[in-house]
């Protein structure tokens, strides 16, 4: 069910990774304070300010006056899925109950774009909206200038909603901003049961692919040591929810085209582009492993589904240079890709069910960390050799493909994602024009 790397420098070893993220424990203590900021706007005497404004330079690279009251996003080391996620999310429900009881937040009027330096009446509503959700200091409301404080608050909002955090108000950010507070509260409530099921017996090392977030995390000892933007199944070909274990890495893999893609994609393409297979290094084999020519197939029938279509290894391969294998009844896997521009958009539900992983080599460094003979330099050499090489993990690593649209992690920051497969039952997801269905 899959489809049609940049070279990394040496990855740090595990001890350096753990030292790098050693400060993450501090955010567990920060969680309750950050949640209070959402429940009621903080005041100058509130410890939230000393906790979240202890630096003149936030994670987005925006400089602020030391006296700023701007609320900042904690560093992203808290994993989305941990033993504490369900409990912390339950606390977030109480916060959003309070927001709803106070009347929710105002709608921001429709506008093509707002960005730093602009002046517009809608900025007044925007400031009020961001203050209610705790993204903007409540003392910063009341004027119509899109200044650096508003830009930083929009960035924080975008980050919490899985959008490109550029501080510019466009359609996708505006759509997410105008989802009613009641709906967001209900999202949190219905995800509690999902999280309670998912957060038991996770173990010290595991990988999570959250499908609505289109994001993969490698988690070790309660810290998200590696995060990766992903591309997952489009609504008409959804990625399945899976609990499995990663058992093998394939370097320079072949790609065998699944029957579903032969029928839905390959046959229509070949009717229009007879040279498509040759241009994409895809060979045809019969049941006796004899190679056939495209002219041997009747492309105006279902004839093609009876043959094997296999793409040679290489940068042109739909799997890229790496495939991550795990047992499942769905025939899906995680992999590199030859279409890396897909990672740059806000809407990354574009595959036929598999999961494309950005910077997948970094993830493989971590996956093979406990497999003898496979340090980062050996992984680099295997990839650059161009040879098909299969490596079994010494210790299979638990893998969870989950469907979670709202949660609050140990840093206390409440996160929302759109219900791309409409499984929450709270209304149709906001899809952009041209989204594949």
Q: For position 194, which CATH number holds? A: 2.40.440.10
- Domain, as residue range, for 373: 1-21+77-103+188-254+313-431
Instruction: Please compute the mean of the pLDDT values over residues 372-392 and round it to a whole number.
Output: 96
Do the Cβ atoms of 355 and 217 come closer than 8 Å?
Answer: no
Torsion region of 21: left, alpha or beta (phi above 0 gives left; psi -120 to 50 gives alpha): alpha
205 pLDDT higher than 90: yes
Asked if residue 437 belongs to a domain, the reply is no
* 164 and 289 assigned to the same domain: no
Asked if residue 436 belongs to a domain, the reply is no
How does residue 431 score in pLDDT terms, banded at 50, 70 and 90? Answer: low
* 298 and 394 assigned to the same domain: no
User: What residues contact residue 259 under an 8 Å CB cut-off, 6+ apart?
Assistant: 305
**Percent of the chain residues past pLDDT 70, beyond the cut:** 80
Question: Structure pTM?
Answer: 0.79
Residues linked to residue 177 through DSSP beta bridges, in sequence order: none
Q: Of how many residues is the chain composed?
A: 437
What pLDDT shows up at residue 245?
Answer: 97
* 418 and 364 assigned to the same domain: yes
The kind and range of the H/E element at 13 are: none
- Tens digit of each residue's pLDDT (9 = 90 or more) over 309-328: 999 998 889 899 999 999 99
413 pLDDT higher than 70: yes
* 136 and 5 assigned to the same domain: no
* 318 and 276 assigned to the same domain: no
* 396 and 301 assigned to the same domain: no
Counted domains in the chain: 3
Among 213, 218, 207, 223, smallest CA distance to 187 is for 213
- For the ranges 27-31, 187-191, 204-208, 222-226, the lowest mean pLDDT is seen at 27-31
Among 187, 227, 265, 234, smallest CA distance to 347 is for 234
Asked if residue 232 belongs to a domain, the reply is yes
Asked if residue 110 belongs to a domain, the reply is yes
Residues linked to residue 232 through DSSP beta bridges, in sequence order: 349
Asked if residue 42 belongs to a domain, the reply is yes
Catalytic residue among 161, 354, 355, 400: 354
- Tens digit of each residue's pLDDT (9 = 90 or more) over 254-308: 999 989 899 999 999 999 999 999 999 999 999 999 999 999 999 999 999 999 9
- For the ranges 54-63, 76-85, 98-107, the lowest mean pLDDT is seen at 54-63
DSSP code for 75: P
Catalytic residue among 228, 335, 355, 400: 335
What pLDDT shows up at residue 52?
Answer: 34
251 phi, psi to nearest 5 deg: -95, 135
Nearest 5°: CA angle at 345, between 344 and 346?
130
335 is catalytic: yes
- What whole-number distance in Å separates Cα of residue 330 and Cα of residue 348? 20
84 phi, psi to nearest 5 deg: -95, -10
* 220 and 344 assigned to the same domain: yes
How does residue 334 score in pLDDT terms, banded at 50, 70 and 90? Answer: very high
Torsion region of 135: left, alpha or beta (phi above 0 gives left; psi -120 to 50 gives alpha): alpha
201 pLDDT higher than 90: no
What pLDDT shows up at residue 436?
Answer: 54
The kind and range of the H/E element at 74 are: none
231 versus 4: the higher-pLDDT residue is: 231
* 331 and 357 assigned to the same domain: yes
Among 191, 177, 14, smallest CA distance to 88 is for 191
* 323 and 206 assigned to the same domain: yes
How does residue 40 score in pLDDT terms, banded at 50, 70 and 90? Answer: very low
Residues linked to residue 207 through DSSP beta bridges, in sequence order: 218, 399
- Tens digit of each residue's pLDDT (9 = 90 or more) over 139-192: 999 999 999 999 999 999 999 999 999 999 999 999 999 999 999 999 999 999
When the pLDDT of each residue in the chain is averaged and rounded to a whole number, the result is 83
Indicate the residue among 156, 179, 202 that finishes a domain.
179
Asked if residue 401 belongs to a domain, the reply is yes
Indicate the residue among 311, 328, 354 that finishes a domain.
311
7 versus 149: the higher-pLDDT residue is: 149
What pLDDT shows up at residue 140?
Answer: 94
Nearest 5°: CA angle at 145, between 143 and 150?
95
* 320 and 307 assigned to the same domain: no
* 43 and 123 assigned to the same domain: yes
412 versus 251: the higher-pLDDT residue is: 251
DSSP code for 240: P
DSSP code for 68: -
Asked if residue 72 belongs to a domain, the reply is yes
Torsion region of 214: left, alpha or beta (phi above 0 gives left; psi -120 to 50 gives alpha): left
Instruction: Please compute the mean of the pLDDT values over residues 34-39 and round it to a whole number.
Output: 37
* 34 and 15 assigned to the same domain: no
Asked if residue 394 belongs to a domain, the reply is yes
425-431, long-range: CB < 8 A, 24+ apart: 425/190, 426/183, 426/186, 426/187, 426/190, 427/183, 430/172, 430/175, 430/176, 431/235, 431/347
How does residue 15 score in pLDDT terms, banded at 50, 70 and 90? Answer: very low
């Amino acid at each position: 069910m899959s489809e049609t790397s940049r070279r990394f420098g040496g990855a740090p070893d595990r001890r350096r990774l753990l030292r790098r993220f050693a400060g993450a424990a501090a955010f567990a203590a920060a969680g309750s304070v950050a949640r209070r900021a959402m429940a009621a706007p903080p005041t100058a005497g509130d410890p939230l300010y000393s906790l979240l404004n202890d630096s003149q330079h936030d994670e987005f690279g925006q400089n602020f006056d030391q006296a700023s009251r701007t609320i900042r996003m904690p560093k992203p080391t808290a994993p989305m899925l941990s033993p504490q996620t369900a409990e912390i999310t339950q606390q977030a429900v109480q916060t959003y109950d309070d927001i709803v009881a106070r009347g929710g937040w105002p709608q921001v009027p429709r506008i093509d774009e707002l960005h730093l330096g602009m002046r517009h009446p809608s900025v007044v509503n925007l400031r009020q909206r961001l203050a209610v959700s705790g993204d903007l200091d409540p003392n910063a409301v009341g004027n119509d200038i899109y200044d650096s404080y508003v830009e930083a608050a929009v960035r924080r909002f975008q980050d919490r909603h899985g959008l490109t955090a550029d501080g510019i108000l466009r359609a996708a950010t505006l759509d997410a901003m105008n989802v009613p507070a009641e709906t967001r509260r209900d999202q949190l409530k219905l995800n509690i049961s999902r999280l309670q099921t998912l957060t038991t017996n996770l173990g010290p090392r595991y990988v999570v692919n959250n499908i609505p977030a289109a994001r993969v995390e490698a988690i070790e000892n309660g810290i998200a040591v590696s995060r990766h933007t992903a591309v997952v199944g489009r609504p008409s070909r959804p990625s399945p929810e899976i609990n499995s274990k990663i058992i093998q890495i394939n370097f320079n893999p072949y790609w065998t085209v699944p029957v579903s893609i032969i029928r839905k994609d390959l046959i229509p393409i070949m009717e229009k582009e007879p040279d498509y297979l040759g241009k994409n290094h895809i060979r045809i084999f019969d049941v006796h492993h004899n190679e056939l020519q495209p002219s041997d197939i009747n492309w105006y029938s279902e004839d093609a589904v009876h043959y094997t279509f296999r793409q040679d290894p290489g940068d042109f391969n739909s799997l890229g240079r790496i495939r991550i294998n795990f047992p499942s009844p769905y025939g899906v896997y995680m992999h590199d890709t030859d279409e890396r521009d897909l990672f740059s958009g806000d809407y990354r539900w574009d595959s036929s069910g598999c999961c494309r992983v950005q910077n997948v080599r970094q993830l493989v460094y971590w996956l093979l960390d406990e497999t003898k003979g496979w340090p980062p330099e050996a992984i680099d050499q295997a990839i650059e050799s161009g040879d098909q090489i299969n490596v079994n993990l010494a210790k299979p690593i638990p893998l969870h493909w989950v469907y979670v649209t709202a949660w609050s992690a140990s840093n206390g920051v409440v996160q929302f994602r759109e219900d791309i497969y409409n499984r929450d039952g709270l209304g149709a997801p906001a899809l952009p024009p041209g989204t594949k269905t």
